[in-house]
Amino acid sequence: MAYEKKIPVDLDCPLRLTMSLIESKWKSCILDELRSGNAMRPSEIHKCLPEATPRVLDMQLKEMVEDGLVGKTIFPELPPRSEYMITDLGKSLLPIIDMMLRWGEEHYDVFEKKYGSKTP
């Protein structure tokens, strides 16, 4: 089986545990997209995060399902249909996501001045 993380999460330290669940490139954004509680199909999620390839969304959603942050429903239809929905455990991370979102908004200009070049 290809593509398995060696260490699924980091149990050594509570801070690293939380970080390890959300630190890969798109997981925090996926949680943010699913925050409403409505189920979303993979193609919808991709429309909301067009910079992420479908492949990477697929892989990260799979891990989030495994970690219990997101639930998945597969409909036995053709063409195939599936839906992802945030779980209660995933919802419990939303206050953290919210804070990071607000922090980023509040301090955006500092980093735009330092590193930015007007959305290159």
Q: Which is nearer to DNA, 15 or 106 (CB)?
A: 15
Q: What are phi and psi of 64, to 5 degrees?
A: -70, -35
Q: DSSP class of residue 40?
A: B
State how far the Cα of 58 lies from the Cα of 52, in Å rounded to an integer.
Answer: 10
State how far the Cα of 94 lies from the Cα of 40, in Å rounded to an integer.
Answer: 17
Q: How far is the CB of 36 from DNA (least distance, A)?
A: 18
Q: How far is the CB of 72 from a second copy (least distance, A)?
A: 17
Query: In the set 54, 58, 73, 89, which binds a second copy (CB under 8 A)?
Result: 89
The binding site for DNA (CB under 7 A) comprises 1-3, 5-7, 24-26, 41-43, 51-56, 58-62, 72, 74, 78-82
